[in-house]
Amino acid sequence: MTIVREPIWDDAPATKLQGFFRHITQFLSSLGWAARILSISIFYFPSVIVRKDSRSQLFNQLYITGIRTLPVITVVSLFTGMILALQVGLELRRFNQEIYLGAAVMISLIREMAPFSCGMCLAACVGSAIAAELGTMKVNDEVAALEIMSISPIRYLASPRILALVFMAPLLGFFCCIIGTVGGGVVGVTQLGVDFEQYMASAISIADTKDLFVGLLKALVFGIVIGTVSVSEGFGTEVGATGVGRSTQRSVIVSFLLILMLGYMITRVCYR
């Protein structure tokens, strides 16, 4: 696949209606471009696992996605659980129902906040790095060099990064849930006077298999979205350092918006 984007119009639209339709056309073009990259990347997934050069890329991306983001994800998920426990616990205290603090924190984390926090961290830490790296390679003609050597940039560059996010996003989402629950327990014990064993018993009793699968599904979808958006923006980078900056910015913004919208849609479908 040749990494070529559709040319951008340089002339200003004559009317507002023409400008509106131009934006719609550019949006649909970008959507088709991202879908094309994702479909070809999925086609190359077996090759990434089998081929030695692509497998080394995959292991490197797994390390970058999973291990190097752990400090940030740990801090974010810990304070997310602590904030949830403090806010919910203060309201439960008004009704003398602090015993349900663990259940409230767990259900909030496992359904929504854990995959959401994980997705935001991955978009900011990993997605932006992917867009900047691939954008720099595009500007420096390294992507074109791969094509000249008959090496598919999708197989060699895109597939390992998307596959790494597919593997690691659900695991990191589950990790966020555990750390957030522990953080909520710390707040419950130190500031709300809740027994830690009672807190954990309440949290475990409310956790349902469906809630776990929905949370993992959200994290998986978020990982696919972040990888696809970041790779497509990186490959679509315009010439110059400014183009790299714009691609990185767009990848983070679009990933954030899609995480919010898709998170709501999945919840709406799964909990009718």
206-231 residue pLDDT tens: 888 888 999 999 999 999 999 999 99
Residue type, 83: I
On whether residue 248 sits in a domain, the answer given is: yes
pTM for the whole structure? 0.88
On whether residue 194 sits in a domain, the answer given is: yes
Domain encompassing residue 239: 67-270
On whether residue 72 sits in a domain, the answer given is: yes
d(CA 128, CA 218): 20
Tell me: the pLDDT tens digits for 136-155? 998 888 888 888 888 888 88
On whether residue 152 sits in a domain, the answer given is: yes
Sign of the dihedral defined by the CA atoms of residues 181, 182, 186, 188, in that order: positive
On whether residue 121 sits in a domain, the answer given is: yes
With beta carbons less than 8 A apart as the criterion, state whether 126 and 226 touch.
Answer: yes
Q: Is the pLDDT of residue 12 over 70?
A: no
On whether residue 51 sits in a domain, the answer given is: no
The more confidently predicted of residues 171 and 243 is 171
d(CA 92, CA 110): 20
Q: Is the pLDDT of residue 13 over 80?
A: no
Reported as a pLDDT band with limits 50, 70 and 90, residue 1 is: low
User: For the chain, how many structural domains are there in total?
Assistant: 1
